[in-house]
Amino acid sequence: MISDDELGELERTVELALRSGDASALSLLGEGEISLVLAAGSGPRRACKRLPPFPTAESAERYTATIGRYIAELEQRGVDVVDTEVRRVRGSDGSIVLYCVQPILPATTLAVDIARDEPDRAPALLADIIDTVFATIDASVGLDAQLSNWAVVDDQLTYFDITTPLLRTPDGVSELDSDVFLASLPWALRTPVRRFVLPGILDRYHDPRTVSLDLASNLIKEHLDHLVPEVLSATAERVARPLSGEEVRSDRRSDARLWAALQAVRRADRAWQRHVRRRPYPFLLPGRANS
- Binding positions for ligand ADP, rule: CB under 6 A: 29-30, 32-35, 37, 47, 49, 82, 102, 104-105, 110, 148-149, 160-161, 163-164
Given candidates 84, 149, 158, 212, which one binds Mg ion under the rule CB under 5 A? 149
262 binds, among Mg ion, ligand ADP, none (CB under 5 to 8 A by kind): none
Taking the C-alpha atoms of residue 197 and residue 195, their distance in angstroms, rounded to an integer, is 6
Given ligand ADP, Mg ion, none, residue 104, with its beta carbon under 5 to 8 Å by kind, binds ligand ADP
Site for Mg ion in 161-200 (CB under 5 A): 161
| Closest CB to ligand ADP among residues 104, 262 | 104
Find all residues with CB under 8 Å of 269, minimum gap 6, and list them.
Answer: 185, 186, 281
- Whole-number minimum distance, CB 258 to ligand ADP, in Å? 15
163 binds, among ligand ADP, Mg ion, none (CB under 5 to 8 A by kind): ligand ADP
Burial of 69-104, coded b for 16+ CB within 10 Å and e otherwise, reads: ebbebbeeeebbbbebebebbebeeebbbbbbbbeb
Whichever of 205 and 232 has its CB closer to ligand ADP, that residue is 205
> Which lies closer to ligand ADP via its Cβ, residue 36 or residue 232?
36
User: Scanning residues 12 to 41, which ones bind Mg ion (CB under 5 A)?
Assistant: 32
**How far apart (Å, rounded) are the C-alpha atoms in residues 291 and 270?**
10
Report the distance separating Cα 133 and Cα 23, nearest Å: 36
